[in-house]
Structure 1
């Protein structure tokens, strides 16, 4: 029940639709009971088991008075017309009553579709926004597939739990109780005869669902788009955060999710039509049997008790679905409880990278970046130890060292992808923990070794996260990045779709698109994380030239394995096992005959 309440809180915004669902369910039950209550007395009079009253009784609000008055009216009809004509009228009335009953049942499902899909949409939106703002450390402990599973499979399980619980609470118990009382009154031996009729309705029900195939296929396609967007988000989360594109990504996902939501609403409305329509058709068949059986009974010498027979068929056929639905609902709620817990685990995850309520705005970078006594720990392991470094405005600082020495971690601390364990990082003397996170990241452009591009046009990838960007501005950024020429050779130029992760381009081209993205933002601080390490010689030359253009008049923090690319840096910081082992210019470090010289000589031999 606790897990159910966690889910149902998402249904609060849709309380109006829920009330309409309850209203139409009640109307459906009323019409069902009225139709059953009318069958036996009508048939008893028609088949001469009871004599119709000749004197009009006084109408009162009690069962006997209503029964007597109903008998009198039926008797008047029989007197005025013959029995077969009255039977035909009554059969037609029953068809109308059942039509209204199933219409109201469908309307109840029509409105519950908004609740059902709205709740799922809101849970999925909440999960997506959560994965955008959770720190990168959260994903070092989780598999992407598991996160995607929580947003898809688990949310789908919750959807069934919500729907089943609503049906269980608002409709099925009333149906079951009403029909069960009636069945106790009737003869249980007629069950064997009912089983003869069930295959007839079963054949009709089997023909109902074919029209759902096209809509269902579209739903699967849209779900694929959602999964693709989610996977791209998790893979490119570093870039989304670095380029302050959380709002852009959130809007993009919400748009896709909204379109999927509307498609699924139509799908469920079509699917929900199958049950009441199949029931109506089944009742229509039963009414035909009533008419045909009544015709036989009215023949002289007939001994068949048709009233009890037809009444039992009607009641028994109606109790099957709610009993089945109730048992399924209980199972689905139990099954969905685990999914609710998995979803809550993500939604309740701690947002380690938090922003103070009185955080300071940072709109420009004037003087320096300072790492002051910085320590950082992964689990129980110290990755950085007592880092003290000042990066003056306009200077280029290179970080070198063996793999695992802490270079990338040191760079990731600057845009607050992680927070320091001890010490602080300051921009112009202000600790970045005291600043607005989006303002800090807006000061920085990041070009990493793993270029993350999205399944969109070249223009959209370069303008990533920015609003109101013109094509001329994008083209100018591409020229600085040495990308304009190859972009113009594409089939549709800047509007060419580059495929998933930019698979339609080479590694060097993807990297230059990434550089153009950083150029367009025109940040005062650049972080270059081994931006040329995975490229061939020709691509490296073009990318290195683009990086040189990018670093002009900017403060740069450059991470590199290839020492040849950082020899002209203003200062080279050599990291060894998380500590600053050496620092100085290329010539100064070579003269020390220490760690830097050893790394340089090893690369020269390679």
Structure 2
């Protein structure tokens, strides 16, 4: 429960006004529960003919004798004037009115808490999504996509179903229990003290069962993450699964995980279902023991109790059994839900390796040069870049070539701070990029990757992605420069055509030209091209290459290329080998050096 209240301290403050209203309505509801039950005493006395004629009105005070005396005084007046039947009708109408008020305030309490509950769930969803897109790329190197999807969907859903649905009970039921118990003290102190001796025993038994749920629930949520991971991998790699006839293998892997999840959930839900019968059984035992003890007091001639009062007392006690049972079930749900929230919190509390410091500067222009000064970088223990230095003048095109795994992509990923250098520094116009605001730094750059990353939206929205304000004319001009306008207008709905998941309705070349149009519309001074044409056929490559040349005009460009023919005209070519730049120069200069570049060139030409 300590973790639960910590979560409420984080998310409840914006809803203080609604909480205050909920608290007020629940108090009024509890008071009218007492009034409706207390109205039963005179009704039962009339039916059982236990009421005594009272002809003297006492001064009103918060005293049991004075209160019951004055109630009986007015009942005597009504009874003597209208008779027992009419008196009983009036008492019944009073009971109906108090019950109406009780149920009305109960509804109002639930009405206001619904906004709180759903608001907190929304805030958790927003917090985990915002944190997921804020976390650096390095975080996802050690995380499965399916598990992250499970945390942001199934785990949040579990928190909503278990924790937030218990919020109403936790705010309402304790108030009912306290108010009704106070009224029970008012009727009989001895009997209520006896209740306090018996109830904690039942509460202890229920609490012991509830604690075992948390560990099992956490295990179930983890297994669900694995299942979603397999589904995500299967959908992404469906072409390979079919090509290698691996359906049976993937099905077997999925079956094993689903079966393990089934066993875990069986154990969890069986323990959870134990909550209701256990609380009901223990409640019945407590009720019988109290009935025996109260009956003994009446039989022994206790003047504080009579049959009508005792029956009303039992009715009041019954009013706290259901809230107590609901309270215990809420405890079960909270234990289960908090296990899901712990998995969410692992994401929310994940360290942001890429941070801005308080004195970060805003930069809006790029005028002179980019400098890599003796930088080194390693993924865990594997060093990818080793003491690399390079100066890139403004307006120049720098090509990065070399074998796969030589460090080219890491080199360019360090510039927009997708990762941070571990030694040395990167400078733009003399400013260390760690001293710049991330938004401003990345606003200077545009990316075109080997795999065109598009979204299941319209062509228009994909081109304008990341550009706050763009006119239709600017979008069309960007598409024309990217050699994309013709095929876009040939589609059924033109720029408003929805392109499917990851642009699946388009060819590879079309997807790439849309991503180029997106970069053109952003109009960044620095351009990063990562194998932008390597996956295309000859005709598409020509169209994309023309678009890239239009894009690179008057920009500082870093181009990663495996096809050396695409970078012959670069101002400088840097050859990477095992994390180091081993050769630099123009195409002709590197051919003349007769080194690694010439070897790579000869292999491609042959």
Superposed pair shares fold, TM > 0.5: yes
Paired residue secondary structure (2:170): helix
Paired residue secondary structure (1:575): strand
Paired residue secondary structure (2:148): helix
Counterpart position of 1:422 = 423
Counterpart position of 2:344 = 343
Counterpart position of 2:412 = 411
**How many residue pairs were aligned?**
491
Counterpart position of 2:332 = 331
Cα shift readout 1:116-174 (whole Å, capped 9, x = no counterpart): 12222223323232223221111112222322333333334444435535633553364
Counterpart position of 1:355 = 356
Counterpart position of 2:78 = 77
Cα gap change, 1:57/1:308 in structure 2, threshold over 3 Å: closer, same or farther? closer
The question of whether the paired residues in 1 share the 8 Å contact of 2:38 and 2:312 is answered with no
Q: Distance in 2 between matches of 1:63 and 1:315?
A: 16
Shift of 1:530: 0.6
Cα gap change, 1:111/1:169 in structure 2, threshold over 3 Å: closer, same or farther? closer
Q: Distance in 2 between matches of 1:585 and 1:97?
A: 92
Counterpart position of 2:543 = 542
Paired residue secondary structure (1:383): strand
Counterpart position of 1:172 = 174
Counterpart position of 2:100 = 99
Q: Distance in 1 between matches of 2:159 and 2:569?
A: 58
Q: Distance in 2 between matches of 1:151 and 1:185?
A: 50
The question of whether the paired residues in 2 share the 8 Å contact of 1:398 and 1:558 is answered with yes
Q: Distance in 2 between matches of 1:502 and 1:306?
A: 78
Paired residue secondary structure (1:449): coil
Counterpart position of 1:4 = 4
The question of whether the paired residues in 2 share the 8 Å contact of 1:24 and 1:107 is answered with yes
Counterpart position of 2:511 = 510
More deviation in 58-67 or 528-537? 58-67
Cα shift readout 1:28-85 (whole Å, capped 9, x = no counterpart): 1111111112202322123312233244444443111111111122222223334333
Counterpart position of 1:582 = 583
Q: Distance in 1 between matches of 2:94 and 2:164?
A: 36
Paired residue secondary structure (1:171): helix
Shift of 1:528: 0.4
Q: Distance in 2 between matches of 1:373 and 1:468?
A: 39
Paired residue secondary structure (2:582): strand
Q: Distance in 2 between matches of 1:174 and 1:308?
A: 20
Paired residue secondary structure (1:512): helix
Cα gap change, 1:419/1:60 in structure 2, threshold over 3 Å: closer, same or farther? closer
The question of whether the paired residues in 1 share the 8 Å contact of 2:26 and 2:175 is answered with no
Paired residue secondary structure (1:461): helix
Cα shift readout 1:486-513 (whole Å, capped 9, x = no counterpart): 1112222222222332222222111111
Cα shift readout 1:188-234 (whole Å, capped 9, x = no counterpart): xxxxxxxxxxxxxxxxxxxxxxxxxxxxxxxxxxxxxxx9xxx9xxx
More deviation in 72-81 or 162-171? 162-171
More deviation in 376-385 or 330-339? 330-339
Paired residue secondary structure (2:73): helix
The question of whether the paired residues in 2 share the 8 Å contact of 1:45 and 1:51 is answered with no
The question of whether the paired residues in 2 share the 8 Å contact of 1:31 and 1:101 is answered with yes
More deviation in 490-499 or 20-29? 490-499
For structure 2, the 5+ residue unaligned runs are: 193-227, 237-305
Q: Distance in 1 between matches of 2:136 and 2:352?
A: 7
Paired residue secondary structure (2:12): helix
Counterpart position of 2:435 = 434
Normalised by the length of structure 2, the TM-score is 0.75
The question of whether the paired residues in 2 share the 8 Å contact of 1:17 and 1:111 is answered with yes
Cα shift readout 1:309-366 (whole Å, capped 9, x = no counterpart): 9748844653343122110222233223333333332222222112232223322222
The question of whether the paired residues in 2 share the 8 Å contact of 1:21 and 1:111 is answered with yes
Q: Distance in 2 between matches of 1:60 and 1:521?
A: 78
Paired residue secondary structure (1:582): strand
Normalised by the length of structure 1, the TM-score is 0.75
Cα shift readout 1:211-267 (whole Å, capped 9, x = no counterpart): xxxxxxxxxxxxxxxx9xxx9xxx9xxxxxxxxxxxxxxxxxxxxxxxxxxxxxxxx
Paired residue secondary structure (2:601): helix
The question of whether the paired residues in 2 share the 8 Å contact of 1:383 and 1:406 is answered with yes
Q: Distance in 2 between matches of 1:168 and 1:438?
A: 43
The question of whether the paired residues in 2 share the 8 Å contact of 1:45 and 1:75 is answered with no
Paired residue secondary structure (1:474): helix
Q: Distance in 2 between matches of 1:78 and 1:593?
A: 120
Q: Distance in 1 between matches of 2:16 and 2:530?
A: 51
Q: Distance in 1 between matches of 2:505 and 2:434?
A: 40
Cα gap change, 1:170/1:177 in structure 2, threshold over 3 Å: closer, same or farther? same
Cα gap change, 1:18/1:173 in structure 2, threshold over 3 Å: closer, same or farther? closer
Cα gap change, 1:392/1:4 in structure 2, threshold over 3 Å: closer, same or farther? same
Paired residue secondary structure (2:143): coil
Counterpart position of 2:478 = 477
Cα shift readout 1:452-492 (whole Å, capped 9, x = no counterpart): 11222222111112222100000000000011111112222
The question of whether the paired residues in 1 share the 8 Å contact of 2:39 and 2:91 is answered with no
Counterpart position of 1:61 = 62
The question of whether the paired residues in 2 share the 8 Å contact of 1:8 and 1:162 is answered with no
Counterpart position of 1:567 = 568
Q: Distance in 2 between matches of 1:356 and 1:314?
A: 64
Counterpart position of 1:161 = 163
Measured on the aligned residues, the alpha-carbon RMSD in Å equals: 2.8
More deviation in 491-500 or 158-167? 158-167
The question of whether the paired residues in 2 share the 8 Å contact of 1:26 and 1:171 is answered with no
The question of whether the paired residues in 2 share the 8 Å contact of 1:374 and 1:425 is answered with yes
Q: Distance in 1 between matches of 2:502 and 2:78?
A: 78
Counterpart position of 1:495 = 496
